[in-house]
Structure 1
Amino acid sequence: MESLFKVNISPLQDAPGETMEFHTKLSIPNLTGVGNRLIEMINPWVLELQVTSLNQRFQVSGRLTGNYELSCDRCLEKVRLPMDTELFALYYPDGDHFPPEEGLAYTGDELDLTPLLLEAINLKLPMKNVCSLDCKGLCPVCGIDLNTHTCNCQKEAFDPRLAGLLKWKEQEGGGSGGQS
């Protein structure tokens, strides 16, 4: 993937404690999320950022805001959602020995913020996406959208492998409410 945003850190390299601020608009390409679902990014996104020098290490903090579209997991209709996510990372010179969970590596005079931005977006995405809490989804038999249409399909699917249990329940009184 092409870099989303790079920061030239040469003015900060020999200036511990100094900060640079950025306020810019980004164009983020569509992404593929968990389960290979398409995440359509509605551009532009707004990036507000502070980069602070910490003796050859750099602290990046800020906020990324924008809108995206996902398909509803129940009825497959497109849903537009806002995202507002905070950013924070420490960048270490490549070659420094640091645990990967503590920061990101950089080389030269630039910080590539692409991994930070993509991680922030992915962590903010919902695991399940629904157009509304009362979405009825699609009919499992004919596939019609039950939010806008009704169908006469038999919804009670019976698994023939369970016929023996049903017979036992009817003969032996199999019980209800957890009793047998």
Structure 2
Amino acid sequence: MWKVNVKDLIKERRKVIEGTYAPEFVELHTGTYRVLHGGFKVKMVLTYADNKILLGGYARGYVEKPCDRCLKLSEMYIDGIIEAVYTFEKKPPSKNEELKDLTNEILLTGDIIDLEERIVEGIVSSAPDVFVCSPDCKGLCPYCGADLNEEPNHTCKAMEEEQVDPRFAKLLKIKHTQEG
């Protein structure tokens, strides 16, 4: 489903591909996560113009990922952008052009374009580095690991017995003197 014949595309000039990309797991830069709700909804438009094939589209879906603050498994939405330019001849860019041209240009070597790589690339590049289950997630107690969302007034023995770094002891003394 994710393969396109180049000769057919050149004849048609434009092709729209829609479907569901449904792997069981997806590998992101922060780990491997289970794909939810049957997969990613994908829509791509391929257009042949000026001896190039332009690709644009999206891959949208959910993965199950632990919250980076409280570690609860939650649903993370990914709205992946798919972009690429396929060329038939690649000209080596000069050093100045290399820095200016940041297009995702791919040299076509055969009669078939495998779009699965572009789908995965769109998903991975759009996944956030930090994910929280909700904007007001309080996370875990840094001393005992208790979930502060479930225990908002949490105090623990380790917190009370916190050792002050000797380098900051004088600052703490000043603070206590100012507070009275």
Query: Same fold judged by TM-score > 0.5?
Result: yes
Q: TM-score, normalised by structure 1?
A: 0.74
Specify which of 2, 6, 11 is matched with residue 5 of structure 1. Answer: 2
Q: TM-score, normalised by structure 2?
A: 0.74
Specify which of 47, 53, 61 is matched with residue 66 of structure 1. Answer: 61
Give the structure 2 partner of residue 152 of structure 1: 156
Give the structure 1 partner of residue 34 of structure 2: 40
Deviation for aligned residue 1:56? 4.0
Normalized per residue, the structure richer in helix is: 2
Specify which of 19, 23, 29 is matched with residue 14 of structure 2. Answer: 19
Letter in 1 for 2:4: V
Distance 1:146 1:174, change over 3 A: closer
For 1:61 and 1:176, the matched residues in 2 are separated by: 63
Give the structure 1 partner of residue 102 of structure 2: 101
Letter in 2 for 1:125: A
- Please tell me whether the aligned partners of residues 13 and 47 of structure 2 are also in contact (alpha carbons under 8 angstroms): yes
Deviation for aligned residue 1:19? 0.6
Q: What percentage of aligned pairs have identical amino acids?
A: 25
For 2:167 and 2:126, the matched residues in 1 are separated by: 46
3-state SS of 1:146 partner: coil
Query: Unpaired segments of 5 or more residues in structure 1?
Result: none
Query: Unpaired segments of 5 or more residues in structure 2?
Result: 93-97
Deviation for aligned residue 1:60? 0.9
Specify which of 115, 118, 126 is matched with residue 117 of structure 2. Answer: 115
Deviation for aligned residue 1:176? 9.9
**What pairs with 1:86-97 in structure 2 (closer than 5 Å)?**
86-93=81-88, 96-97=90-91
Aligned residue pairs, count: 166
* CA displacement, residues 130-157 of structure 1 (integer Å, 9 cap, x when unaligned): 1112212122222222222445233363
